[in-house]
């Protein structure tokens, strides 16, 4: 039981990371990066204190939906959020889709012409 619990948890959370990465690199930035700014504090890719809160919100939301209904037996009895049970079997896809869409919405709502913050 431990291996399936672990694989479900890791798979669901990796799906959320993949959704954010795909949305940012392929959709928002269209595969164009300024290499020097990747490593410069205050550069184009610098966010509030170094953290992109939009990505964090997308990760947490996608993660909860992806693994919140999973069965963590034998670690704990039951499921953390029973209502999300039907999503747990598709955790990777649920995490990917949720985080991708939410990240795009949050990043596009910040306004045109701004690449950071």
What was the pLDDT predicted at 75? 63
pLDDT tens digits, residue range 10-53? 999 999 999 999 999 999 999 999 999 888 888 888 888 778 99
Residue with the two structure tokens 């694989």: 7
Mean pLDDT of 62-69: 91
What was the pLDDT predicted at 117? 45
pTM of the model: 0.84
In three-state form (DSSP H/G/I as H, E/B as E, the rest C), the secondary structure along the chain is: CHHHHHHHHHHHHHHHHHHHHHHHHHHHCCCCCCHHHHCCCCCCCCCHHHCCHHHHHHHHHHHHHHHCCCCCCCCCCCCCCHHHHHHHCCHHHHHHHHHHHHHHHHHHCCCCCCCCC
pLDDT tens digits, residue range 72-86? 766 666 677 878 888
Residue spans of the domains in the chain: they are 2-108
Q: Which residue has the higher pLDDT, 110 or 116?
A: 110
What was the pLDDT predicted at 45? 86
Whether the pLDDT of residue 115 is over 80: the answer is no
What was the pLDDT predicted at 56? 97
What was the pLDDT predicted at 21? 97
């Amino acid at each position: 039981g431990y291996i399936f619990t672990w694989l479900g948890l890791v798979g669901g959370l990796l799906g959320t990371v993949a959704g954010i990465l795909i949305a940012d690199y392929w959709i928002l930035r269209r595969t164009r990066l300024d290499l020097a700014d990747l490593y410069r504090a205050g550069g184009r890719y610098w966010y509030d204190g170094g953290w992109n809160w939009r990505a964090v919100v997308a990760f947490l939301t996608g993660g909860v939906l992806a693994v919140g209904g999973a069965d963590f037996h034998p670690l704990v009895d039951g499921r953390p959020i029973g209502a999300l049970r039907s999503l747990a079997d598709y955790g990777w896809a649920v995490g990917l889709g949720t985080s991708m869409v939410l990240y795009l919405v949050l990043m596009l709502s910040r306004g045109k012409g701004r690449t950071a913050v």
